[in-house]
Amino acid sequence: MEIFKTDESKRQQILTESGTNEVEIIEFLLGRQSFGINVAKVREIVSFDRSNVTAVPEAYHSVMGMLLLRDSTLPLVDLKKHMDLPRSQDNDLRQVVLVCEFNKMVNGFLVDGVRQIHRCSWDQIVPLSPFLSYYKPGITSSISLDNKNVLMVDLEHIMVDIYPETKLVYSEEVVEDHNLDIAKRHHEREETHIIFAEDSPIVRSSVKKVTQAAGYNSLTVFDNGEDAYLEIQKLATTAKARQVGIGEYVTAILTDIEMPRMDGLTLCRKIKEELRLSHLPVIMFSSLINDQMINKCKSVGADGWADKLQVEELIHVLDKFCVEKG
């Protein structure tokens, strides 16, 4: 039974309204602990009916099988099992399935119930401490809502655990222009400096490996948009004092959209409008790239965008704005 379904246009609108730094978070339960994800990733919520699940031999330990949803099937992940949380003995928990769509994939996540949807600001969301993120717990950040600590789940991390082939990898042969000398292109990339903002530890690590493999060795990484903005602001002030262009310090900005403290759309808007760095390329790198999101990116002045699963496109876009500008 369908409990909740997001209208597609509404789902894109609530992601962030062109740099307002707002987000809607759906609070759900695993046991009695509250967790959250961006509503923009939730296509619908349905009641859990075990009779609609078909087991798959040799599946990942947290994959319950394939869930029959109307006329289609999708993988169903037991989120509590995946996150190694204790099984609850509560009989009053009403299990539901969050049907989520991101990175051009649709998957179901079994949870112990949904509480409510909260509209809040990204600056209320606090990044996970470096000590905890080192252990890659599948949590990116937390937020205090109604006197509760709600942990934000890194669904991309979870899907990489289950489908390792979705992890970012780099192949020189795939992305290179075969008419271009590879050594020359690598040298050009090494002359650049990129600021990268991304809250997911596993994505940060993967992107760093990918860009370094391509020759983009100078990468300054931040786990939230606010710290990235403060660094860019500092560099802009230094450049102005020295009467040189910002390009002397940074070649381009690569940013996720969903981040604690300041989302990527707001970061882009503030760079272009408040810092007046209209010529500094800003590239959006997200699991939510589609036509509506591209329009959002354009509305805040973003220069380019790439889907998180399309590593060839990421390198191509970086090349376009970092080494092919002339």
Domain residue ranges in the chain: 2-163, 167-322
User: What is the Cα 66 distance to its own chain's centre?
Assistant: 25
Average pLDDT over residues 11-21: 58
| CB contact at 8 A, 65 and 76 | yes
How many alpha carbons fall within 13 Å on the CB side of residue 288?
27
- According to the model, what pLDDT value does residue 59 have? 92
Q: State which CATH number among 3.30.360.10, 3.40.630.30, 3.40.50.2300, 2.60.260.20 fits the domain covering 167-322.
A: 3.40.50.2300
The four Cα atoms 312, 122, 108, 73 give a dihedral, to 10 degrees, of: -50
Average pLDDT over residues 192-205: 92
The pTM score is 0.81
Task: Please name the residue that has the structure tokens 């296509």.
Answer: 43
- Look at residues 257, 255, 254, 234 and name the one whose alpha carbon lies nearest to residue 246: 234
Rounded distance between C-alpha atoms, residue 103 and residue 101, angstroms: 7
- According to the model, what pLDDT value does residue 67 have? 97
Residues paired with residue 153 on neighbouring β-strands, in sequence order: 139
Average pLDDT over residues 248-262: 95
Total residue length of the chain: 326
CATH topology identical between 2-163 and 167-322: no
Average pLDDT over residues 3-18: 54
| CB contact at 8 A, 258 and 38 | yes
Percent of the chain topping pLDDT 70: 84
Average pLDDT over residues 310-316: 83
The superfamily (CATH) of domain 2-163 is CheA-289, Domain 4 (2.40.50.180)
Average pLDDT over residues 104-117: 94
Mean pLDDT, the chain, integer: 86
| CB contact at 8 A, 318 and 211 | yes
Pairwise pLDDT comparison (133 vs 232), residue with the higher score? 232
pLDDT tens per residue across span 218-238: 999 999 999 999 999 999 999
pLDDT > 60? residue 170 = no
* Residue 247: Cβ-neighbour burial (10 angstroms; 0-12, 13-18, 19+): middle
pLDDT > 70? residue 167 = no
pLDDT > 70? residue 178 = no
pLDDT > 90? residue 21 = no
Rounded distance between C-alpha atoms, residue 111 and residue 95, angstroms: 6
pLDDT > 90? residue 36 = yes
Q: What is the DSSP letter of 83?
A: T
- According to the model, what pLDDT value does residue 248 have? 96
Percent of the chain topping pLDDT 90: 60
pLDDT tens per residue across span 264-304: 999 999 999 999 999 999 999 988 888 888 899 999 999 99
- Look at residues 153, 152, 227 and name the one whose alpha carbon lies nearest to residue 195: 227
User: What is the Cα 106 distance to its own chain's centre?
Assistant: 15
- According to the model, what pLDDT value does residue 103 have? 84
| CB contact at 8 A, 324 and 189 | no
Rounded distance between C-alpha atoms, residue 257 and residue 15, angstroms: 9
Dump strand ranges (E) for the chain.
Answer: 2-5, 22-30, 33-38, 42-47, 53-54, 63-69, 72-78, 96-102, 105-111, 114-121, 126-127, 139-145, 148-153, 194-197, 219-222, 252-255, 282-286, 304-307
Instruction: Please state which of the ranges 22-26, 86-90, 284-288, 302-306 shows the lowest mean pLDDT.
Output: 86-90
Residues paired with residue 46 on neighbouring β-strands, in sequence order: 2, 97
